[in-house]
């Protein structure tokens, strides 16, 4: 199981939980598992989020591997100027 940290507006869509454990081998798996467990999150996740894995911010790559030791943090979708 991978532990996923959520920022607040996602947390509000997951019954207030700030950390959720999901079965996942990739970043894509994490997002699918979250949307399946908490359908209210789907719109926000589809709209775009970034995922930080072990301190590296994965802006859009769904194939990035994760494991049970990974630090996985969901962030707002990154963009810049």
Partner 1 sequence: MAFDEKKSTFDVIGSRPLRPDGLDKVTGRAKFGADAYAPGMLHAAVVRSPHAHARIVKIDTSKAEAMKGVKAVVTRADFATGLKGENWNILENVMAGEKALYDGHAVAAVAATSALAAKDAMKAIEVTYEVLPHVTDVDEAMKEGAPVIREGAVSPGTPEGMHPNVVGYHESGHGDVDKGFAEADLVIEDTFKTEATHQGYIEPHACLAQMGNDGKGEVWCCTQGHFNVAKVCAHLLGTDASQIRVTASEIGGGFGGKTAVFIEPVALALSKKSNRPVKLVMSRSEVFRATGPTSSTSMDVKIGMKKDGTITAASGVFRLQGGAFPGSPAEFTAMCSFAPYNLENVKQIGWDVMTNRPKQAAYRAPGSPMAAFAVESVIDTLCNELGLDPLEVRLKNCSKTGTRANFGITWDQIGLEETLLQAQAHPHYSAPLGPNQGRGISCGFWFNHGGETAVSLALSEDGTVSVSVGTPDIGGSRASMGMMAAEELGIPYEKVRTTIADTATLGYNEISHGSRVTYASGLATIEAARDTIRKLCKRAAAKWGIDEDAVIWEDGCAKPSGPNAGEFEPMTLQQIARKMGATGGPIVGHYEATPEGAGVSFATHIVDAEVDQETGSTSITRYTVVQDAGKAIHPSYVEGQFQGGAAQGIGWALNEEYIYGEDGRLQNAGFLDYRIPVASDLPMIDCVIVEVPNPGHPYGVRGVGETSICPPLAAIANAVSNAVGIRMKQLPMSPPRILAALDAEGK
Say what the alpha-carbon torsion angle 67, 73, 31, 63 is, to the nearest 10 degrees.
-50
Q: How far is the CB of 4 from partner 1 (least distance, A)?
A: 10
Q: How far is the CB of 22 from partner 1 (least distance, A)?
A: 16
Q: Count the neighbouring beta carbons within 10 Å of the beta carbon of residue 64.
A: 17
Cα-based angle 38, 66, 49 (whole degrees, multiple of 5):
50
Q: How far is the CB of 74 from partner 1 (least distance, A)?
A: 9
Residues engaged in binding partner 1 (CB under 8 A): 5, 7-13, 40-41, 43-44, 47, 52, 54-61, 64, 71, 73, 75-76, 78-81
């Amino acid at each position: 199981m991978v532990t996923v940290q959520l920022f607040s507006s996602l947390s509000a869509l997951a019954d207030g939980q700030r950390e959720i454990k999901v079965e996942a081998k990739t970043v894509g798996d994490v997002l699918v598992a979250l949307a399946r467990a908490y359908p209210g999150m789907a719109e926000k996740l589809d709209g775009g989020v970034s995922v930080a894995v072990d301190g590296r911010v994965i802006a859009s790559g769904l194939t990035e591997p994760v494991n049970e030791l990974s630090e996985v943090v969901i962030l707002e979708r990154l963009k810049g100027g």
